[in-house]
Chains A and B, each alone.
Chain A
Amino acid sequence: MKYIKVLVIFPLLSLLIGASISGFIRDKNNGEPLAYTNIILLENDIGTAADVSGYYIFPIVDDGKHTMRIMMIGYKTLEREITVQDINLRIDIELEPTALDFDQVTVSAERMRFEKRVDISRMNLTNREIRRAPAFIEADIFRTLQFLPSVSASNDFNAALIVRGGSPDENLILLDGTEIYNPYHIGGVFSTFNADMISDSEFLAGGFPSKYGGRLSSVLNITAREGDSKNGRLPDSLYIYDVEVDWPWNWNSRKRKNNLKKYWDFSKGSGNISLLSAKFLAEGALYNGSWMISGRRTYFDKFVSLYYDYRDEEEPGNYYFWDTHIKMKTSINQNNQLIYSQFSGKDNLALGLEGLANIDFDWDWGNRTQNLSWRYIPNSNYIVTTRLSKTQYNFDVDFEIDFNPSTGTADTSTTDLSSGSTDLDLFLDNLVEDVDLNQNIKFIITDDISFDAGWQIKNLNLDYKEIFSGQQVTSIQSQPKIYSSFINMTLKTSPLLYINPGIRVSKYNRYDKMLINPTLGIKFNPISDLALKASVGRYSQFLFTVNQENELLRIVDFWQPIPDGEKPQEADHLILGGEYWISTGNTISLETYYKSYSSIYDLNPAPDYANIEETFSLSGTAEAYGVEFLYRFNKNKLSGWVSYAFSNIRRSVDLNSDTILDKDKEIYPAKYDKPHTFNSLLSYQINEKYFLGLSATFGSGQTYTPVIGKVHQGGVRAYGSLENPYSNFGNIYGVRNGARYPNYFRTDISLGRKSKVFGLDGELKFQVINITNHYNVLLYLWDHKASPSKVEAYSMFPIILTFGWEFKI
């Protein structure tokens, strides 16, 4: 019903307003959309910019002849004469690339964003920027984002994004509009996003508009490439052979049109082999559209298997991961596009420890998302996107111990049936299913007024089970539902001032009250190259992960809904900042923020086991504030950024639920409170063949809770301590997070060389991680069974050399 209203109301509105011009801007060579292209109507001196999908709209255009100029650095400027006669025009345009450097194209898009976007704390990264950054073995979007002043990492092994003190579960991570719940491989060493398939990634570190909801800290919106629809390699025609049966046989060939080419074609492929994985990406044309498929798989496990086969021994353990991404786009007609996107990723870790007791450990987890989007693009000044998506995140652990693994081999006349059976087992299962239906309408009323509006229905199914020794120890199931709608306006009240008010209203079926989240963004341009911005907003979150505070690695996320009847997590953002466009590609920005969390949830360390479902979590508050400075530059052959961030994050949680906040134990700096961080990320094009990348981070060490004494102690974690009260000589702790590891310092460099190997064009890339071999402490482990006690530090990455080869087919 809602949709019918939209279909009726919007055309009526647009009729009242007048004629419009709209269409897509694409690359002539490969058909990929050109985001943020600048389009000007010369006679009226009005301009607009294409969105991330290359779509542009002029909402009101007078009748008559106009000249449209389309400009994008890196492409030939195009001018086209058009005549408007009281009808909405649809003009799709293809721009021809010039030989200019890709970086300049990026700069051009960035300038358009600088001029048109009100969003504060925004950063866009392209595929190329991600791939040029030095990285551990493979380029990774999360690792690149961690060089931004608003983002930090807890350690080298954890790619989780900590944005302005928020825990990693507070980030909304979208791939083609679909939410991803556990975007990590190998315990967080890598993200699940293969850098090759990323077209654009927009990161909003706070104060994000109301069209995004359900998270407290940030939004990472990744758009996958659509694929090359232009350079099909299938032949236009095929030879058909007719054979005469009589001897001697005559072969008559004739040409026939290759009908397959109309529906499917292959344009190009590329591959990449690194120390970690082998990757591929293929793309081509589809009926009125394009397709793209990418995938990667680690192969370390294959070498391990070969090694143990050679030694004729059992493998003690193995690990691999894979992920694939498929995207298909087709235009049913000029006004309707269908886009299907699918992402699958899986990790598997298996360990088998042989001894007098056999231990088998099998751990697999993964994400699977499917997303069908329908874009309705009338020849008018609005666009409607309807999206149905399903995300499934699954995590299984099987842990089995066989105390008598070698029974029955001795002299016995009995029938031994014990092979394969186990004595103790632990199974953990966590499932998150999210079926999401949403619709988004973008409507441009005039050049100065536009709005986004939409609604969303989220149907979740969460299931967490622990089965120990055949007994179901924990089972928490829930089916939360979240209904939301939003409206977000952009008003240009004067040439200098943009105002972006918005509101998001949500209903969570486990909480009685309606949640109203207003947002307001303001941009003021006192001069054309200076943008002063402010943003204030309230944000709510309905799910949280229970493994937040003390984790070193993030192998998996245990997602849980906010308990029944409890207020969802809530945070208020206040951000002030300014951005100055020094020159093409050179900007400087300064932002300050204050975030106040009125309710955050954490795992309850002292739950009531007779009422575990309602007491497994507890709420607290937090506040974060900081200042961030970022200088982005693009000078000659050198590009990148340097940044500094100051931040402070304090949490207040009544951990023992006694209603009194203990100042040493319950009001404390967060685990990832890092007062000072300097980052730099540089890329230098030495010549046509070589490029050099350098990244450096220097910052405060992470907090930890110091050990101040030792005593024998009991506790469920030290199994058997009741039977042996002296088995656990454990720590006595001081003030929570009251100490800090030494300062963190790491410099990585990468050197790339274009080359032809085995006849394939490609690029060889060498990288050195932590080139100074700085000892960055991951943790301290105490051994109290010595006088005095001993302490050992375990480090993060030492110096590591990696290399990879990227090739094109």
Chain B
Amino acid sequence: MKKYHLLLLIILLGCRQELDISEFSFNFSSYVPELRIEALILPHDATAIVRIDKSFLINDTELYDCRDNDFGYISEDSCQTIDGAFWHGDENDMVADCGDWNPFIHDLGSDGIESTDNNSDGDYEDFGDIAPDEDGTENNGIPDCDEPNMDSYTEILPSIHDSTCTVSIIKTSIDGTEDLCSFFFEDAAGYFFNNMYTGDKSNPIFDNIETVTYGAYIPDSNCGEDYWTDYSAEYSFYADCSASGFGIIESEEPITISKPVVFISENDVEDIKSCDDYDCLVSSTSINFQEDSLYFGRYSLDQKIRWASILPDVTFQVVQYMFDRGNNEYKYYHSHAGFSPPEFQFNDVAISEETIVTEFYDGEGNGEWDDEEIYADENENGQWDEGEYFIDTGDTIPEVDTYYYEIFTFSDSYRNYYFHYQLYLDDPERTNLRDEESNPVMGAFGSMTSEKIHFRIIDCTIHGPSDCENTEITKSVCEWNENISLQPCVDYEGPICLPVDFSTEYCE
């Protein structure tokens, strides 16, 4: 919220001035780069991952080099063999940067924003107009700093990782036996979804969501899946980063991994309240969430998923994924921190809930170029021509009806790291990692255990009277209405199939 205040004022009254960072050198000149380690056990996936990355000086000059060199410094011929690659040299160059900066759609200048002349009067002085960059970087045909696809993740991540450490996690079982799992650095150890440049990143369709891989340490194959799912064991972290000058870093104390949540129905709440352990939660729920899917009527109100956890697990990460039918995979939709409020905490049990957006997502474009969609004007005739590359935005037809939620619980240590974001990164209460002199090291060693629940949104309104209440088709979420007014949603009165919980309040 405070950011919002700030933005408003800055727009209204503020004056901005870029400063020379040397004016601040007395603050940062004595800073020495450190490591930040995120060492995570992931019981649900029966694995672990250790991200060891370097911090940087304010005056570092190498990480963002303002070159588009995803695929390296290679010849034009080699570059052209790579799908989606562009070679950034002139005809005299034998070799040059090869990357994914597309001169036809990414040449927006150093402000990263396309200039706009709303009324096409030739000037950029009207309300809403955005002038071309004063430094001449817009449409200059070469990649410039801060343009889309410049210094992208692919280019910078390898420079961030420290791949020279020797990493292991030691498990001490309840009987006192110790096992050691060694890790090795893998260039594509993990991945995340990134919204590619579409001119607007707020609501991309599936085609504009890219999967980015990053390097990290992953367990040796000898460790076995059981290694990471022992809820009674204690785990310790060890990393020897002497090769990069950071010495040995260890977890301050062993950790135990967190139990996952248990999804429940509204009817289970009373029984669940008296539970005092995870097994009780599992036996008390009426939902077979590991196999079944939930169903909700499109446009229905106040639909929720609920889950239970054993105290003190009251904080979660809530992540929603949506199904990309075209590529037969789930894509990241949104996430946020979750809490069980005090009035939902009973003795040893915390109950939490998440309201379902009972609407489809517009995950696909229409496959055709539409007005205002960004395109590569390769023949420079000022209009889109068949075959020219364009960024397909949403076609306004929402079609994604299948989703899942993944709820993460944290070990104490990782909860501190994640939720106590107002503390310094090396605060001894925020990080449980220590160097050889017992100084706190940025990051944390802990666990994130997750559980998933799938659900589908059913559009009742497409069904006629025969299918509407067919449980095989509409899963008991629809009912037939012989005569109903849908004001103020739409100007309709008559028979229609609607969600059981439908109310015109949905539109208000």
Bound together? yes
Q: Is A687 an interface residue (CB 8 A)?
A: no
Q: Is the CB of B17 within 8 A of A732?
A: no
Determine whether the beta carbon of B417 is less than 8 Å from that of A714.
yes
B202 touches A552 (CB 8 A): no
A421 touches B506 (CB 8 A): yes
| Per-position binary interface string of chain B over residues 33-68, scored 1 when its CB falls under 8 Å from any chain A CB and 0 otherwise | 110101000000000000101111111111111000
Kindly state whether residue B160 has any CB partner on chain A within 8 Å: yes
Cα distance A606–B419 when bound, in Å? 8
Which residues on B are within 8 Å of A, measured CB to CB?
1-2, 4-6, 8-10, 13-19, 21, 24, 27-28, 30-31, 33-34, 36, 38, 51, 53-65, 145-146, 151, 153, 157, 160, 190, 192-194, 200, 202-203, 214, 299, 302, 304, 311-312, 314-315, 317, 319, 332, 334-339, 341-343, 345, 350, 352-355, 357, 359-362, 393-398, 408, 416-425, 427-430, 442, 448, 459, 461-462, 486, 488-490, 492, 496, 506-508
Whether A414 touches B335, Cβ cut-off 8 Å, given contacts A706-B24, A724-B193, A724-B194, is no
Interface pair A356/B394, CB less than 8 Å apart:
yes
Give CA–CA (A655, B36) in the complex, Å.
22
The 3 tightest CB contacts between A and B, nearest first, are A470-B355, A715-B421, A605-B422
A428 and B2 CA atoms in complex are apart in Å by 14
| Inter-chain pairs besides A716-B421, A787-B64, A794-B14, 15 sampled, C-beta below 8 Å | A355-B200, A397-B1, A420-B489, A551-B2, A610-B311, A713-B36, A716-B337, A718-B421, A719-B335, A725-B51, A732-B34, A732-B425, A786-B145, A789-B21, A789-B59
A336 within 8 A of B: no
> A551–B1 Cα gap in the complex (Å)?
11
Q: Which residues on the A side are within 8 Å of B337 (C-beta)?
A: 716, 719
Other-chain contact of A474, B145, B341, B398 (Cβ < 8 Å): B341
Which residues on A sit within 8 Å (CB–CB) of B1? 397, 428
A417-B506, A473-B339 known; A795+B396 contact, CB < 8 A: no
**Which of A326-334, A400-408, A435-443, A452-460 contacts the other chain?**
A400-408
A739-777 with Cβ < 8 A to chain B: 739, 775
Specify which chain A residues have a CB less than 8 angstroms from the CB of B332 in the assembled complex.
Answer: 723
Q: When the two chains form their complex, are residues A658 and B429 in contact, meaning their CB atoms are under 8 A apart? A: yes
> Are A609 and B422 in contact (CB-based, < 8 A)?
no
Interface size on A, residues (CB 8 A): 97
Is A212 among interface residues, defined by CB-CB distance under 8 A? Answer: no
Question: Is there a chain B Cβ closer than 8 Å to A733's Cβ?
Answer: yes
Cβ contact within 8 Å between A410 and B396: yes
Q: Are the C-beta atoms of A712 and B160 separated by less than 8 Å?
A: yes
A157 to B9, CA, bound (A): 8
Q: Say if the beta carbon of A187 comes within 8 Å of chain B.
A: yes
A791 part of interface (Cβ distance < 8 Å) = yes
Min C-beta distance of A470 to chain B, whole Å: 3
Closest chain-B Cβ to A664's Cβ sits at a distance in Å of 9
In the assembly, what is the distance between CA of A372 and CA of B371, in Å? 65
Q: Is the CB of B362 within 8 A of A407?
A: yes
In the assembled complex, how far is the CB of residue A587 from the closest CB belonging to chain B, in whole angstroms?
37
Does A790 sit at the interface, judged by CB under 8 A? yes
Interface centre among B14, B18, B157 (most CB of A within 10 A): B14
Residues from chain B with a CB closer than 8 A to the CB of A613 are: 342
Name B203's contact: one of A355, A725, A727 (CB within 8 Å): A355
Q: Which residues of B contact A732 (CB under 8 A)?
A: 31, 34, 55, 425, 442
Is B18 a contact partner of A792 (Cβ separation < 8 A)? yes
Q: List, in ascending order, chain B residues with CB within 8 A of A609's CB.
A: 312, 314-315, 339, 419
- Would you call B355 and A720 a contact (CB within 8 A)? no
Give the residues in chain A near B489, CB-CB below 8 Å. Answer: 417, 419-420
Chain A residues contacting B417 (CB-CB under 8 Å) are: 714
| CB-based contact B203/A403 at 8 Å | yes
Q: Within 8 Å of chain B (Cβ to Cβ): is A529? A: no
Cα A361 to Cα B28 with chains together (Å): 38
- B216 nearest in chain A by CB position: A725
Q: Are A474 and B339 in contact (CB under 8 A)?
A: yes
A793 to B314, CA, bound (A): 40
Q: In the complex the two chains form, what is the Cα distance from A719 to B54 in whole Å?
A: 22
Q: How far is the CA of A718 from the CA of B425 in the complex (A)?
A: 14
Q: Could you say which residues of chain A place their CB within 8 Å of the CB of B314?
A: 609-610
CB of A271, distance to nearest CB on chain B (Å): 26
The CA-CA distance from A333 to B256 in the complex, in Å, is 78
Taking a contact as CB atoms under 8 Å apart, the answer to whether A407 and B203 are in contact is: no
- The answer to whether B56 and A711 touch across the interface, beta carbons within 8 angstroms, is yes
Docked-complex contact B423 and A709, CB < 8 angstroms: no
Does A780 make an interface contact (CB < 8 A)? yes
24 inter-chain pairs at a CB distance below 8 angstroms, sorted by A residue, are A355-B202, A406-B394, A414-B462, A418-B398, A428-B1, A469-B355, A470-B354, A471-B304, A471-B341, A473-B339, A551-B2, A553-B6, A609-B339, A610-B350, A657-B429, A706-B28, A707-B27, A709-B28, A715-B419, A719-B337, A722-B317, A723-B335, A789-B59, A789-B60
Asked if A786 and B64 sit within 8 Å, CB to CB, the answer is yes
Q: Are the CB atoms of B299 and A418 closer together than 8 Å?
A: yes
B353–A471 CB distance below 8 A: yes
Q: Does A726 contact B (CB under 8 A)?
A: yes
A797 part of interface (Cβ distance < 8 Å): yes
Question: Pick the contact of A421 from B14, B27, B359 — CB < 8 Å?
Answer: B359
Task: Among B214, B336, B506, point to the contact of A726 (Cβ < 8 A).
Answer: B214
Contacts of A712 in B (CB 8 A): 36, 53, 160
Is there contact, CB below 8 Å, between A606 and B416? yes
Q: List CB contacts (< 8 Å) of A554-608 with chain B.
A: 555, 605-606, 608
Chain B residue nearest to A788 (CB atoms) is B59
B492 engages A713 (CB within 8 Å): no
B157: A residues at CB distance < 8 A: 726
Instruction: Judge if A104 is at the interface, Cβ distance under 8 Å.
Output: no
By a CB distance below 8 angstroms, the chain A residues around B62 are 787
The answer to whether A415 and B492 touch across the interface, beta carbons within 8 angstroms, is: yes
A414 touching B508 in the complex, CB below 8 Å, given contacts A407-B359, A407-B397, A712-B36? no
- Distance from A805 Cβ to chain B, minimum over Cβ atoms (Å): 23
Asked if B490 and A739 make an inter-chain contact with CB atoms under 8 angstroms apart, the answer reads no
Contact A471 B355 (CB under 8 A): yes
On chain A, the residues within 8 Å of B34 by CB distance are 709, 711, 732
Q: Could you tell me the distance in whole angstroms from the C-beta of A409 to the nearest C-beta in chain B?
A: 5
Inside 8 A of A470's CB, which chain B residues have their CB?
302, 304, 353-355
CB distance from A384 to the nearest CB of B (A): 45
CB-nearest residue of chain B to A425:
B355
Interface members, chain A 598-632 (any B CB < 8 Å):
605-606, 608-610, 612-613
**Complex CA distance for A160 and B271, rounded to whole angstroms:** 51
**B484 CB to nearest chain A CB (Å):** 11
Contact across chains for B5 and A187 when beta carbons are under 8 A apart: yes
Decide if B507 touches A421 in the complex (CB within 8 Å): yes
Encoded as 1 (CB less than 8 Å from any B CB) or 0, chain A from 185 to 211 comes to: 001000000000000000000000000
Q: Which of B194, B339, B408, B461 has the most CB of A within 10 A?
A: B339
In the complex, what residue of chain B is closest to A656 when comparing beta carbons? B429
Q: Which residue on A lies nearest to B507, using beta carbons?
A: A420
Contact B343 A415 (CB under 8 A): no
Complex: A419 Cα to B448 Cα, angstroms:
38
Residues of A within 8 A of B54 (CB): 711
Task: Enumerate chain A residues within 8 angstroms of B299, measured Cβ to Cβ.
Answer: 417-418, 421
A410 to B362, CA, bound (A): 12
From A403, A709, A718, A775, B33 is in contact (CB under 8 Å) with A709
CB distance from A441 to the nearest CB of B (A): 44
How far does the Cβ of A430 sit from chain B's closest Cβ, in whole Å? 12
User: Which residues of the partner chain A approach B420 to less than 8 Å between Cβ atoms?
Assistant: 605-606, 656
Asked if A423 is at the interface of the complex by the 8 Å CB criterion, the answer is: yes
Contact A708 B27 (CB under 8 A): yes
The distance in angstroms between the C-alpha atoms of A357 and B334, with both chains bound, is: 13
Contacts of A187 in B (CB 8 A): 5, 8-9
In the bound complex, do residue B14 and residue A356 qualify as a contact, i.e. CB atoms below 8 Å apart?
no
Whole-angstrom CA separation of A788 from B59 in the bound complex: 4
Are B490's CB and A791's CB within 8 A?
A: no
Would you call A473 and B341 a contact (CB within 8 A)?
Answer: yes
Distance in angstroms from B238 CB to nearest chain A CB is 21
- Whether a CB of chain B sits under 8 angstroms from the CB of A778 is yes
User: B422 touching A418 by the CB < 8 A rule?
Assistant: no
Would you call A416 an interface residue if the criterion is a C-beta within 8 Å of the partner chain's C-beta atoms? yes
